[in-house]
């Protein structure tokens, strides 16, 4: 998302020809409502189709760093 704010629609080598990197209201609304819509449906699908699959929710960068550190220490 940061690239869209910073560079606008300048051509980039990692973007397909004709693909714009525009931020529109529909995209912002999707992000804003993610937890109520897509995330909720994803959780329901996981519960229904993969009930024994472990799911880790990391709410912050600190939580992610801790989880990765714990994972590394458990692997050694």
For 3-71, give the DSSP string: HHHHHTT---TTS-TT------HHHHHHHHTTTTTHHHHHHHHHHHH-TTS------SHHHHHHHHHHH
Domain that includes residue 42, residue range = 2-75
What pLDDT, on a 0 to 100 scale, did the predictor assign at position 59? 92
Q: What is the pLDDT, as a whole number, of residue 69?
A: 96
Predicted TM-score (pTM) of the model is 0.51
In this predicted model, what pLDDT tens digit does every residue of 2-13 receive, in sequence order? 555 555 556 677
Q: Which residues in the chain show pLDDT less than 50? A: none
Report CA-CA distances (Å) from 55 to 5, 10, 51, 61, 74. 32, 38, 10, 17, 18
How many structural domains are present in the chain?
A: 1
At 47 the pLDDT is 94
């Amino acid at each position: 998302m940061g690239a869209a704010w910073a560079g606008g629609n300048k051509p980039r080598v990692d973007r397909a020809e004709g693909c714009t990197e525009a931020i529109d209201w529909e995209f912002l609304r999707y992000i804003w409502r993610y937890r109520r819509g897509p995330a909720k449906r994803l959780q329901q699908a996981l519960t229904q189709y993969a009930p024994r699959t472990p799911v880790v929710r990391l709410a912050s960068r600190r939580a992610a760093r801790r989880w990765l550190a714990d994972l590394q220490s458990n692997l050694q």
